[in-house]
Structure formats: structure tokens, C-alpha cells
Amino acid sequence: MSSTKYDVIVVGTGPGGYVAAIRAAQLGLKTAVVEAAELGGICLNWGCIPTKALIKSAQVFEYINHSEDYGIKVKGAEMDFNAMIKRSRDVAGGMSKGIQFLLKKNKIDQLLGWGKVQPGKKVEVEDKDGKKTVYAGDHIIIATGGRARELPALKIDNEKIVGYRKAMTLDKKPSKMVVVGSGAIGVEFAYVYKSIGVEVTIVEFLDRIVPNEDEEVSKALEKIYKKAGVKIMTSTEVTAVDTKGKGCKVTVKDKKGTESTIECDIVLSAVGVVSNIENIGLEDVGILVEKGKIKTDEFYKTNMPGYYAIGDVVAGPALAHVASAEGIICVEKIAGHHPEALDYNNIPGCTYCIPEISSVGYTEAQAKEAGYELKVGKFPFSASGKASAAGAKDGFVKLIFDAKYGELLGAHMIGANVTEMIAEIVAVRKLETTGMDLIKTVHPHPTMSEAVMEAAAAAYGEVIHL
Ligand SMILES: Cc1cc2nc3c(=O)[nH]c(=O)nc-3n(C[C@H](O)[C@H](O)[C@H](O)COP(=O)(O)OP(=O)(O)OC[C@H]3O[C@@H](n4cnc5c(N)ncnc54)[C@H](O)[C@@H]3O)c2cc1C
């Protein structure tokens, strides 16, 4: 048992864990983090950041291939697949080093190894040589994150059937890929691989791609992807994959029960994530789990006093910014502050395929179902000067207002840079601004963000540029 006693020990250093630890240190709490793999968690090493690096490489290649659209002739551009992968790994490695710097700067101890919570507010850490040390803390925060979900018919073998980790570290460029699942991870990888010349088929069990988005967004993305040559099979499930022989034979079944086979070199399983709740001592302490997630109250306390959980191990959207926000609230509460509970209705969701997608709040269908009378405004980027100049006319901004009080119930965007534009909407909703205020908020010209003001104006019959 270590003689050092901590105020806070955080198990896991993803965007939930490391942010919680830094906030705890800022608040004067003696803090340690436990990490079994890379500092920064999935987000920095295997999620948000390396995927965006790959997307940027793919987009640069697309720009070069379409450079004549911008009046530039480029001859002989070649994709160097291994260099693209290396760049993505270097970006991730740099970010992870940055976390190490931040932890040191905030005088947070790094306990490297596998952490297991124990009764009596303790954490056992087993290092890579098998040596176990027990640490005591007044508050233990579990932030062990998640991993790829596996379907019974689609067991990841890391050779021909891969998850997101292998998909971002392949040794060579495949020629045909089947992407199973069309949530954010699926459509982002589909963009990367189709842009560098891979024949991509998306198989989605539900009746539309990006099924959590507003229906109009799903339709728009499907049209753009199909035009770019991506094959899309919705209302279709994978029933078997035959990996014997040279490539893979993927058997799929549509909703009428008709089976067909797709041949490819590699299958990417992108069917969601599950929480890392196994072998971390939950049962020893008596911490309750519900539907595969650690059960907490609104300030992330588990049923056992002194133990907390945040990020992908608790219910709520599995997103980095959610994990970080939960970590900050959890620690501020521990420190005796009075933080506001997180408003899960005002969490932006972003997908970084090209064109990008962002959204917050109700979809149109959800708002109708909730019984609101609606005013809906839509502004297409084809009518935006900035979008025309940039050669990015695909997509739109759609805003959904409550007709009675003007409350902005939801926003749905697809187009260039919309993942940057959604923050305005989140602020507007946080400040409970009405549609009229948004129309009267002067937006700079020419910008893509003018489409937000114009979409609000469209909802109230005041749109100028349509
Ligand atoms: C391909 C991909 C792309 C994504 N893109 C985005 C995006 O663009 N935007 C976004 O918001 N979200 C994105 N996500 C989701 C995001 O990565 C997660 O929501 C986020 O990382 C969750 O943070 P976390 O702190 O809960 O856990 P994680 O980031 O999963 O970190 C958990 C950490 O705990 C460590 N750990 C686990 N068990 C133990 C143990 N017993 N002892 C010690 N350490 C342990 C792990 O090694 C890991 O470092 C993406 C995810 C994937 C897979």
C-alpha cells in the first residue's frame, strides 16, 4: 500500500478522466490518474483526433483531384497510404504528449497500470511487470471509457474484419471495403476510404444512414455519398462473413429477407461502443451497473459513497465533450461547489464526414411527437455567397422553433464547416434566446454562419436571400 493519500484518484485518462483530474488539481485537490494504455484515452489516441487527421488527408487529396474546379492544374498527384496513416498516428502521439505535459504542469501523479477499485476507497494498480500497489483516496472517479461493440455475426479478427483501431492503422490500402453501421464512425471512415479510391459499401440495419440525425440530413448525405460512388444498403443486416480464401464474402439480408453477397478485402464493423466495466472491481465494491453502464446520480455519484463515474461508462451520449463536461461537474461537486447539472438536451453532436453534419436538440419528427407546434426554417448553402466562393454548395441549415414562444428546439446542419457553426446554436439555446433575437443578430458577410440567421428568418417568413 502506498503511503501517499490522495483527495482524488481518477481511473482512466480519456477526455473525461484527464479533464476531471486537471480541474481537481486547479481546485487544490491532491490528485492522481491511473492509466493502463495511452494518456488521453480513446479520443486522442484512437478516436476524435486521429480520425480527423485521416479525414484531412483524404480531403486534401480530393481537393487536388478537383483542383481544376478552382482553376488549378495539378499533374500526377499520388496518395501515399502509409504516409497518411503515419501522419494520423503522429498527430495522435503529439496530443498524448500534450496531456502528459498538462498532468505534470498541474502536479498530478501518473500511476501507470491497470486500475481496479477496491472497498475502503482504494485503487489497486497493477503495472506492466505485474507488480500491484494499492492507493487510497477520498474520492475515486471511474473514467475507463468504452471500446468497439461486436456483433455475433461480425467478430473482429483484426485481419479482415476490423474495428476502428485497425481501420486507422491498416498496412495497405484496401481496394474494396464494406462498412457496417452508418453512425458517425461509419460514415467518417467511409468518406476517408472512398476519397482515396477505395470502393466502399455501407450496410445499415435501419432505414436510413446517420439514423440519429434529422431525416432531411440523412437524405442529403445519402444523395451526396451516392453521387460520390459510395454504395448504400439500408434496412439491411449482415448475417455472416466468410473470411476463408483471399478476401471476404459478406452475406447481407434486406428487410424482405432477400440475401445477397458482397465481396471485399476488408469489413469495418462500426456498430457502436460498449462501456469498459469489466475487471475494474465494480463487484468487489458493490457499484451498481444498469444496462451495461455504471449507474450514477446527476453529479456522477455511484450508489457507493466516495465512488463516482463519468464519460463513456455512464448513460448519455458517448462523446468526448460530454465526458469532459461530466468530469468538471463531478469534481466541482466533490470540491463543495454548486455546479449546475448537465443539460443533456443541449449537447451538440458532430460528424466529420464531408460534408460535415452537426445537430443539437429535437429533430423535426421528435419535436412533433413531443406535441410542439412548429416553425421550421431552412436555408440551403447553394444560396450562400461564401459557400459558392468556396465551392461548397452542398447542404443546408435547418432550425426548428416552437411556434408559441419562439424557443429554438433544434438545429440540424449539413455542409462545410458546420461542426464549427453549431456552437452558436448551443449558446443561443443555453441563453434561451428566441428566433427573433437570432434574426436580429448581425452575422458577418460572407460567412457560412449567415445561413443560421437566414434559416431563422426563413422560419418567420423574413428570409432575404431565397
Ligand atoms: C473512431 C472514433 C471516433 C470518435 N470521434 C469522436 C468525435 O469526433 N467527437 C467526439 O466527441 N467523440 C468522438 N468519439 C467518442 C470519444 O472518443 C469518446 O466519447 C471519449 O473518448 C470518451 O471519453 P472517456 O474519458 O469516457 O474514455 P476514453 O477516451 O475511452 O478513455 C478511457 C481510458 O481509460 C483507460 N482505462 C480503461 N480501463 C482502465 C483500467 N482498468 N485502468 C486504467 N486505465 C484504464 C483506457 O486505456 C483509456 O485510456 C470517437 C470515438 C471513436 C472510437
261 strand-pairing partners? 251
The helix (H) or strand (E) run that includes residue 288 is: none
- Nearest-atom number in ligand 1 for the CA of 279 is 41
For residues 396 and 338, state if they share a domain: no
Q: Does residue 155 sit within a domain?
A: no
284: left (phi over 0), alpha (psi -120 to 50) or beta: alpha
Helices 184-195, 215-227: crossing angle, 10 deg rounding: 20
CA distance 440 to 235: 43
328 among the known binding-site residues? no
Distance 285 CA to ligand 1 centre (A): 23
For residues 261 and 367, state if they share a domain: no
For residues 193 and 121, state if they share a domain: no
Distance 132 CA to ligand 1 centre (A): 24
Ligand 1, atom 39, residue with closest C-alpha: 144
Q: At 177, give phi and psi (nearest 5°).
A: -130, 140
Is the minimum distance from the CB of 145 to ligand 1 under 6 angstroms?
A: yes
Task: List the grid coordinates of 2.
Answer: 502506498
Range of the domain at 20: 5-148+274-344
pLDDT for position 144? 98
Q: Among 295, 321, 344, give the residue marking a domain's end.
A: 344
Evaluate whether 33 touches 13 at the Cβ level (below 8 Å): yes
For residues 261 and 410, state if they share a domain: no
- Nearest-atom number in ligand 1 for the CA of 351 is 8
Q: Does residue 422 sit within a domain?
A: yes
Residue 147 pLDDT greater than 90, yes or no = yes
Q: Does residue 286 sit within a domain?
A: yes
For residues 143 and 279, state if they share a domain: yes
Q: Does residue 466 sit within a domain?
A: no
410 among the known binding-site residues? no
CA distance 232 to 209: 8
Is the minimum distance from the CB of 43 to ligand 1 under 6 angstroms?
A: yes
376 strand-pairing partners? 400
Ligand 1, atom 8, residue with closest C-alpha: 48
Q: Say how many Å lie between the first and final Cα of the chain, rounded.
A: 70
pLDDT for position 26? 98
pLDDT for position 453? 98
Ligand 1, atom 37, residue with closest C-alpha: 144
Q: What is the CATH number of the domain that holds 433?
A: 3.30.390.30
Percent of the chain with pLDDT over 90: 98
> Closest Cα to residue 238, out of 270, 192, 275, 199?
270
98 among the known binding-site residues? no
Is the minimum distance from the CB of 45 to ligand 1 under 6 angstroms?
A: no
User: Active-site residue among 321, 338, 443, 445?
Assistant: 445
Handedness of CA 379, 448, 219, 215 (dihedral sign): negative
395 among the known binding-site residues? no
Task: List the grid coordinates of 388.
Answer: 459558392
- Nearest-atom number in ligand 1 for the CA of 48 is 5
1 pLDDT band (50/70/90 cuts)?
A: confident
CA distance 291 to 268: 25
Is the minimum distance from the CB of 18 to ligand 1 under 6 angstroms?
A: no
CA distance 275 to 147: 6
Q: What is the CATH number of the domain that holds 32?
A: 3.50.50.60
Beta strand segments in 60-145, E: 109-112, 114-118, 122-126, 132-142
Residue 3 pLDDT greater than 90, yes or no = no
Is the minimum distance from the CB of 323 to ligand 1 under 6 angstroms?
A: yes
Tally of structural domains, the chain: 3
* 354-385 pLDDT per residue, tens: 999 999 999 999 999 999 999 999 999 999 99
Ligand 1, atom 19, residue with closest C-alpha: 319
For residues 294 and 310, state if they share a domain: yes
For residues 142 and 12, state if they share a domain: yes
Q: Does residue 367 sit within a domain?
A: yes
CA distance 190 to 229: 11
Is the minimum distance from the CB of 6 to ligand 1 under 6 angstroms?
A: no
> Closest Cα to residue 235, out of 252, 249, 217?
252
Alpha-carbon distance values, 455 to 363, 383, 412, 428 (Å): 15, 11, 11, 14
Distance 273 CA to ligand 1 centre (A): 10
* 393-427 pLDDT per residue, tens: 999 999 999 999 999 999 999 999 999 999 999 99
For residues 173 and 237, state if they share a domain: yes
CA distance 88 to 379: 35
Q: At 209, give phi and psi (nearest 5°).
A: -75, 165
Q: Among 271, 299, 325, give the residue marking a domain's end.
A: 271
Q: Is 321 a catalytic residue?
A: no
Task: List the grid coordinates of 327.
Answer: 468530469
CA distance 282 to 392: 50
Q: Does residue 393 sit within a domain?
A: yes
CA distance 450 to 441: 10
Percent of the chain with pLDDT over 70: 100
Ligand 1, atom 34, residue with closest C-alpha: 12
Is the minimum distance from the CB of 95 to ligand 1 under 6 angstroms?
A: no
Is the minimum distance from the CB of 15 to ligand 1 under 6 angstroms?
A: yes
Q: Does residue 156 sit within a domain?
A: no
Q: Does residue 76 sit within a domain?
A: yes
Is the minimum distance from the CB of 34 to ligand 1 under 6 angstroms?
A: yes
Distance 42 CA to ligand 1 centre (A): 3
* 305-326 pLDDT per residue, tens: 999 999 999 999 999 999 999 9
Evaluate whether 399 touches 460 at the Cβ level (below 8 Å): no
Alpha-carbon distance values, 111 to 41, 132, 276, 278 (Å): 14, 11, 19, 20
Evaluate whether 373 touches 403 at the Cβ level (below 8 Å): yes
For residues 292 and 377, state if they share a domain: no
For residues 118 and 205, state if they share a domain: no
Task: List the grid coordinates of 281.
Answer: 472491481
Task: List the grid coordinates of 92.
Answer: 495522435
Q: Among 271, 292, 315, give the residue marking a domain's end.
A: 271
Beta-carbon contacts of residue 346 (< 8 Å; ≥ 6 apart):
360, 361, 426, 429, 430
Q: At 172, give phi and psi (nearest 5°).
A: -140, 160
Alpha-carbon distance values, 8 to 220, 334, 366, 398 (Å): 47, 9, 40, 44
4 pLDDT band (50/70/90 cuts)?
A: confident
For residues 250 and 322, state if they share a domain: no
- Nearest-atom number in ligand 1 for the CA of 52 is 8
Task: List the grid coordinates of 85.
Answer: 496513416
For residues 10 and 133, state if they share a domain: yes
Residue 170 pLDDT greater than 90, yes or no = yes
184 among the known binding-site residues? yes
* 131-144 pLDDT per residue, tens: 999 999 999 999 99
> Closest Cα to residue 259, out of 238, 234, 243?
238
Is the minimum distance from the CB of 55 to ligand 1 under 6 angstroms?
A: no
The helix (H) or strand (E) run that includes residue 54 is: helix 48-65
What's the angle, vertex CA 223, arms to CA 167 and CA 402, rounded to 5?
105
Distance 46 CA to ligand 1 centre (A): 8
243-265 average pLDDT score:
96
